């Protein structure tokens, strides 16, 4: 069996409120993308795949961080942590709603 993760070792962005914020933002943005796909493009020929890929990467980071998974390697911890996920989810929200 594995031991529980001590999130205090990873800084304040791994506390409960930060993970809840990540999970909530990822859930809301992914639900909006599924319910209202016209936010991304009216026709599939008009999709900006670069921005959509970055938005989906941000959603993935939000889900990974939100459920509490902490990669052991520092590179992956940064790549899938809130430092990358939050700005990408913010940019996706701005892109879809502004």
Q: What is the pLDDT of residues 37-82, one digit of tens each?
A: 887 877 767 777 888 899 999 999 999 999 999 998 999 999 999 9
- What's the rounded Cα separation, in Å, for the pair 88 and 9? 25
What's the whole-model pTM score? Answer: 0.88
> Helix axis angle, 82-97 relative to 16-35, nearest 10°?
30
Q: Which residues, other chains included, contact 52 with Cβ-Cβ below 8 Å and sequence gap of 6+?
A: 40
**Whether 61 contacts 84, CB under 8 Å:** yes
DSSP 80: T
Q: Write down the residue that tokens 């599939």 correspond to.
A: 44
Sorted by where each begins, the domain ranges of the chain are 8-97
Q: What is the pLDDT of residues 22-32, one digit of tens each?
A: 999 999 999 99
């Amino acid at each position: 069996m594995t031991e529980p993760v001590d999130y205090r070792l990873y800084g304040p962005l791994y506390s409960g409120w930060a993970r809840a914020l990540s999970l909530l933002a990822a859930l809301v943005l992914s639900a909006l993308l599924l319910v209202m796909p016209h936010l991304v493009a009216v026709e599939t020929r008009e999709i900006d795949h670069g921005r959509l890929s970055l938005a989906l990467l941000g959603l993935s980071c939000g889900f990974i961080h939100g459920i509490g998974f902490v990669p052991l390697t520092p590179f992956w911890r940064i790549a899938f942590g809130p430092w990358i996920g939050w700005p990408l989810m913010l940019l996706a929200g701005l892109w879809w709603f502004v």
